[in-house]
Amino acid sequence: MRRTLALVGGVAALLSLLFLVWVYGFGRVVDRGMREEAAPRDAGQVVAGELMIPVLGVTPAALSDTFTQARAGGDRRHDAIDIAAPAGTLVVAAAPGTVEKLFRSDDGGNTVYVRSRDGRFIHYYAHLHGYARGLREGANVETGDPLGAVGASGNADPAAPHLHFSVHRLAPGESWWQGRAVNPYPLLTDPD
């Protein structure tokens, strides 16, 4: 019994220490008052499908497939999914790649375009509150690296902050703004 209590106490102390190291050792402030935390690659991070869910703390069960929903009064398809989260929630890279473009637009607001390592896909992150400190075009990112924070920039409803996330398949030679939309929902959720 004493051995079990000692073991439980030791494990609890170790977990407390690891938590403190994580909070104080990895946290840092990013632009515009966002809190950036290192995204753990294997400790509680959701990687259910082929891509990591790019909003920390969001599970596959919380996602909705909004890819084919009508937008602009029915004139076009959404061609993306919206991932709702509180403003300021950390947005991370869904897959490794290179930051192709940081862009501010009327529709998407603060956006990031990341080209996959093989050059075949663009991952598009929109309506960001701001960018992670030091993020720049040409930077290589790994899965889980901070890109920015959930916001409502561009044409997003300020009362409904979310990440607009899309994936586009590129043909050889196509630029970051080209490509054909691929539904990201099955790539973010468990295929089984």
Q: Give me the residue spans of the domains in the chain.
A: 32-188
Q: What percent of the chain has pLDDT over 70?
A: 68
Overall pTM surpassing 0.85 (yes/no):
no
pLDDT at 72: 56
Q: Which of 72, 76, 77, 128 is nearest to 103 (CA)?
A: 128
Maximum mean pLDDT: which of 139-143, 154-158, 170-174, 178-182: 139-143
Percent of the chain with pLDDT over 90: 47
* Fold for the domain defined by 32-188: Glucose Permease (Domain IIA) (2.70.70)
Residue 49: the pLDDT is 66
Nearest to 122 by CA among 93, 147, 149, 148: 93
Average pLDDT, the chain: 77
Q: Is the pLDDT of residue 33 over 90?
A: no
